[in-house]
Amino acid sequence: MKAAALVARGTAHFNAGRAKQALADFRAAARLGKPGAEVRYFTAHAHLSLGEIPEALESFAALLRAYPSYISAYLDLANLLHQQGRLLDATQTLRAALKRAPGSAPALRRLAELESAQAEEKRAAAAPTRARRPASKRAGALIAGRAVNRPAALSSASERVFRLPDGPLRVKRLGNLPIELLALLAGVKPVIHLTVRDGDRPELEALAKRLGLRLHAFPLGVMLGRDAAALRDAAALWDRENVNPGVSLGYPACCASWYYEHADEPGRDLVNAIYSNTKKKSRLSFMLNDIFYFFSRVRSVQEGARRQKLAAMNPGLDLDVLNLVPWHPCSYDCAPSRAKAAKIWATARKVAPELADALKKTLARPVVFWDWSRFAVLEKKGKNYSVAAPYSLLEKSLIARLEAADTIRSTPKGLELLNGEKMIGHLGGKPAPILLDFSAARPRTRPPRRGPSRMSPTRHP
């Protein structure tokens, strides 16, 4: 058999999840002549799929020695090194990539994430070690031992049940797969992208078979959807330079374009940018609340120590499913996003009513927001506010100030706190806090001394 035929057959084996057969074909093709970059690349990923980490590392290294401008290999090698705890080697690999392609957005973004993780590790190593307590207790001290409101539908259980016409469907807890799947069932997302381990493949294949979906594996994950061509096209776009795959995943074109322009702005949480782009800032739709949706919103969220602390603050609460739309809207009054969100919401109420009810109760509340790990979800407790779960890493002093107020108002000078008719102070901080009112019920209002009515945010300078 000729090398090209072996490569084609090996690729088919790889896409079908048969890594062992794929590896045999790639090796046979390599013996017939100098293997190309794609063959070496798929060989490395076949080793990964089989759990052969040393072999995968050597295959990536051999690929880069032979094809030093193959940027995707640098990115994947850096990710593998990071997973092995070799953070310094991972950052050095990305710097080598940037010497070959100085403008590579994925390499720049990933290097920034790893450098942030390095900085957090150094700070953690330098922190005092006296009086150490379990992480959950240290985090819980910030919220004075308050219980976490943890509806069963939002618990960090292993699966969720969808009620389908042909019987219940058990959906594995795998990132935000339940939310992605609701969007697909609603006809909003034609393609779902997942990063999975080999052990997850059998359950995903069973899920695909049950729903009549196709599964397409490629080096950067797995695609699920109904149309084979759509899956191949989305996979071909993934992580390519200067290519935006958002529309192929079902995101509104305006949101995909806006995200592509803003995602790499250094040091900026997209929530602030989305809020600035929102014209009507009062009574925001809870369906577009992405305060707890960390994926792809800010750098270093998945690697940082703060992400682990957030989980410790909310034991038993699945932070990965606290959103309704699996993308970031270009604004909180984006009409296309609201139209698509309404379809997902209708599907959620039909096939997963307990999850839908829990999501609305969690998302439809006002939030005072500083950054992705410092926010306050507000509920009324008597006349005043109470800070409720999901809890963040917000300082205890700021929680106390919020709970001393019965009115929070956005003004040109920032957020004002009032108790009765008395103004008891401003909320400061860096970045400056903003008030996002996702509450479903219209709040009680009073004529303001200046600025907008209570719980009605305006543009913050």
For residue 58, the enclosing domain spans 3-125
Q: Is 27 inside a domain boundary?
A: yes
Q: Write down the pLDDT at residue 263.
A: 72
Q: Is 461 inside a domain boundary?
A: no
Q: Is 268 inside a domain boundary?
A: no
Q: Is 70 inside a domain boundary?
A: yes
Please provide the DSSP assignment of 254-309 as one string.
HHHHHHHHHTT-TT--HHHHHHHT-S--SS--GGG--TT--TTTSTTTTTSHHHHH
Average pLDDT of every residue of the chain: 82
- Longest alpha-carbon distance in the chain: 85
* pLDDT surpasses 80 at 122: no
Burial degree of 242 (CB within 10 A; 0-12, 13-18, 19+)? exposed
* pLDDT surpasses 90 at 235: no
Reported in sequence order, the residue ranges of 358-413 that DSSP labels E, i.e. its strands, are: 366-371, 374-381, 384-388, 407-411
Q: What is the pLDDT of residues 54-66, one digit of tens each?
A: 888 888 888 888 8
Q: Write down the pLDDT at residue 456.
A: 35
The CATH number of residue 88's host domain is 1.25.40.10
* Structure token pair of residue 384: 């005043």
CA 202/CA 207 separation, integer angstroms: 9
Banded model confidence at residue 435, pLDDT cuts 50, 70, 90 = very high
Question: Which of 90-94, 197-201, 423-427 bottoms out in mean pLDDT, i.e. has the lowest?
Answer: 197-201
Q: Is 314 inside a domain boundary?
A: no
* pLDDT surpasses 80 at 449: no
Q: Write down the pLDDT at residue 198.
A: 67
Q: Write down the pLDDT at residue 300.
A: 55
- pLDDT, mean of residues 444-457: 39
Q: Write down the pLDDT at residue 167.
A: 93
Q: Is 78 inside a domain boundary?
A: yes
CB atoms within 10 A of CB 340: 25
Q: Which alpha helices (DSSP H) does 212-304 contain, by range?
A: 228-237, 253-262, 270-276
Q: Write down the pLDDT at residue 182.
A: 97
Banded model confidence at residue 196, pLDDT cuts 50, 70, 90 = confident
Residues 242/106, Cβ–Cβ less than 8 Å: no
Q: What is the pLDDT of residues 197-227, one digit of tens each?
A: 767 788 889 999 999 999 988 777 788 999 9
Q: Is 28 inside a domain boundary?
A: yes
* Structure token pair of residue 337: 């996003």
Q: Write down the pLDDT at residue 151.
A: 80
Q: Is 109 inside a domain boundary?
A: yes
Q: Write down the pLDDT at residue 145.
A: 54
In the chain, the number of structural domains is: 1
